[in-house]
Amino acid sequence: MDDVKRATGLPATVVFRLGTLGSLAGERFAEKIEAYDLKLKHAGMMTALSLGPAISQQDLAAKMGVAPSLVVSLADHLEALGAIQRVRDPQDRRRQVLTLTEHGRELLGKCAAAARALDEEFTAALTPDQISALQQALGILTAQAGLP
């Protein structure tokens, strides 16, 4: 804990600490979900699909802040796994609408379980009150950024 109190410069900034911890957490989470033939972006895409009604590939790309070509690639992989379904938009036959399948919901549940296990590892040195404060602060920051 003394190292935390003495940090100065870049290592003392919230952005640097969140970035480095985020990279570490992302790497460890990616290792866990690799067993399901998934990468972080796949889990992100399934999460986005789980939060609302069916959405077009184009709209999903905008929502995720990625190139439409990446959404197509991710969707190809998730469709091959049976995690999502593509359907032509009845109002615009040029558009593909994506929905999460039951198998996709199961995979997303497995991803959530892996994330919860990692949460326990990452927060093991914190008290329950500190964990609650961290969750609250992260909730505020993610909402401010427009993230789920």
pLDDT tens digits, 118-134: 999 999 999 999 999 99
Domain ranges of the chain: 2-144
Answer whether residue 89 shows pLDDT above 80. Answer: yes
Note the pTM of the prediction, 2 decimals. 0.86
Per-residue exposure over 74-112, b if at least 16 CB sit within 10 Å of its own CB, e if not: bbebbbebebbbeeeeeeeeeebbbebbeebeebbebbe
Give the number of other CB atoms < 10 A from CB of residue 46. Answer: 24
Contacts of residue 10, defined as CB under 8 A and 6 or more positions apart, other chains included, come to 16
Structure confidence at residue 72 (pLDDT): 94
pLDDT tens digits, 16-38: 999 999 999 999 999 999 999 99
Annotation: CATH topology of 2-144? Arc Repressor Mutant, subunit A (1.10.10)
What's the mean pLDDT when you consider all of the chain? 93
